[in-house]
A = this chain, B = another copy of it.
Amino acid sequence: MIQYEVRAGAYYDSVVLMQLQKGLASLPGIVDAGVVMATDANKELLAAMGLLPDNVAAKADDLLIVVQGENEEAARAALAQVNALLQQRRGGAVQTFRPKSLHTAVAQLPTAQFTLISVPGRYAANVAEDALNLGQHVFLYSDNVPLADEVRLKQLARAKGLLLMGPDCGTAVINGVGLGFANRVRRGRIGLVAASGTGLQAVSTEIHNLGGGISQAIGVGGRDLKEEVGGITTWQALDLLQRDAETAVIVLISKPPADQVAATLLRAAQSGPKPVIINFIGYAPPGRRLGNLFFTSGLVDAAEHAVRLSGEVVALVEKRRPLSGYLRGLFSGGTLAYEMLLGLQAVLTPLYSNIPIHPPQQLPDLMQSQGHTILDLGEDAFTQGRLHPMMDNDLRLRRLRQETADPDVDMIVLDVVLGEGAHPDPAAELAPAIAEAARADKRVVAIVVGTEQDPQNLDSQIERLAAAGAHIFPNVSEALDYVYNRLPPPTRDFPPVSLAAFVGDGVTAVNVGLESFYESVQGQGNTAVQVDWRPPAGGNEKLMAILAKMKPR
């Protein structure tokens, strides 16, 4: 008892489609109804509901209306109501004059600094480009926007000193105003940057419920940290919050970024004057606190950290002479080497090892370091018929001299593991070689693992290693902290986003797309204009392409 209708190239707001579907389903004698744009995915959904008509000839930009009636008559009667139901909706929306174009809207509301865009994905890039060219920061809710368009738009926004939040940006809180989906949260000293939607909502909600507050919460879209996009908006937002006087603590949330993107962002975060809490979901954290950076496990953990840190003065180490060459780690302990490698791979490239975490890190020639290198000298290849380097320093001393002779090396990291079974006096053998490295202007870091009960005399070992010029730490975490506080900042090659639009309370906004977002902005006490947007050329793809070519660039 299924009846259906196809309306070729018809465009309706998704709210209208949802209401039409509900309206049809509630008619007498109707079992179920489906109203969708006839994309492949939507047709699959209809099929799963038992609502896909056989051999229906509807394309992605056609509206497909399906009703399942108790009998054919009821179904036909329902379909006959479609226009009336659509009219009903329109009738309810008798309103004042609405600009038909973004250009007119901005002219009508010249103080507008933000444009919200939620038109269907294939139209969204053009609207966003227009908004950027009108000097607007863009909140781009639309999904299904091609990646290439995202890259192009973000490069344009960056060059203009504007933020393009999105695409597929579900949420933001700007000057206390929720854009898109957003919880009502207290204002405060915590600035958020998050990939897209519910991560930011969950953390801002948790912060509020823990008594903290939000300065700005900026969504960047789920693909911003992919290699292709390169974290353009995230870096802009981070930089903005680092300069914003109202923000004391920054929280950065996303799925794991591409390696190179993560390294750049973390170094940018580390180079700033504020603590930055990182929660890359599904990313192996390189530590707990390293330099300015606090790595957390989960959204709640991030929120708790943020609230705690926003309530206290966080002592940050003054930036010291940044790493100006390569770091070389010569470890006797495999797990210590691995933990160091994990900590460094978040921020340093190129990085190599004989115990790589990822295959591309494999050091091709074990006898020769390259780039930043972490070596586990206790690894099988080095110990065949030979004592472990915790007992026999010979191999390590030779390698230490080799690294000292390398002019590209700035820092050398060693572990010195004391205890039963280990060399009775490692400092006696290592100190002269360390002194040699120090004289060659290498910074030497020694991680000394031991207790005051160990047979080697912990204090004496430390004293002699320090006297030779080594910086001594009791564990890998503190050694990593030392390195993080000496990371070279990345080169920022874009103009800063002006803070002008990110002050005080409230926003002035233009909305293109879902009317509920306009109502929400207005309902929060702000000035907004709704654009009465329709697909260009009535959604006709060919005509749209011709129009696009005619547009001046």
Interface residues of A (CB under 8 A from B): 14-15, 17-18, 21, 36-37, 39, 41-42, 44-45, 47-49, 60, 120-121, 143-144, 168, 170-171, 178, 180-185, 194-202, 205-206, 208-209, 222, 253, 255-256, 281-288, 295-301, 332-336, 338-339, 342, 357, 366-368, 378, 380-388, 390-392, 394-395, 398, 415, 417-422, 449-451, 453-455, 474-478, 514, 516-517, 520, 523-524
Contact = CB atoms under 8 A, between A and B. Distances in A.
Contact of A196 (B15, B195, B300, B334): B334
A453 B185 contact: yes
A181 B390 contact: yes
Contacts of A388: 170, 181
A489 B495 CA distance: 56
Nearest to A283: B284
A421 B139 CA distance: 14
The 9 closest A-B pairs by CB, nearest first: A198-B333, A37-B385, A199-B335, A183-B419, A184-B453, A48-B367, A178-B420, A181-B421, A285-B297
B300 A449 contact: no
Q: How many copies does the complex hold?
A: 2
A417 B18 CA distance: 19
B387 A14 contact: yes
A75 B338 CA distance: 41
Contact of A382 (B45, B201, B282, B338): B45
A283 to B, nearest CB: 6
A196 B338 contact: no
A517 to B, nearest CB: 6
A392 to B, nearest CB: 5
18 contacts: A14-B386, A36-B386, A37-B384, A37-B385, A41-B384, A44-B366, A183-B418, A183-B454, A202-B449, A206-B474, A256-B284, A281-B339, A282-B342, A284-B285, A287-B297, A288-B296, A288-B300, A299-B475
A412 to B, nearest CB: 18
B198 A334 contact: yes
A520 B385 contact: no
Given A300-B288, A449-B201, A338 B475 contact: no
Contacts of A60: 384
A226 B241 CA distance: 44
Contact of A387 (B15, B171, B287, B342): B15
Nearest to A366: B44
Given A44-B367, A395-B45, A380 B421 contact: no
Nearest to A358: B282
B14 A380 contact: no
A520 B455 CA distance: 10
B205 A451 contact: yes
Contacts of A516: 391, 421
A342 B419 contact: no
Given A198-B334, A202-B336, A334-B198, A39 B421 contact: no
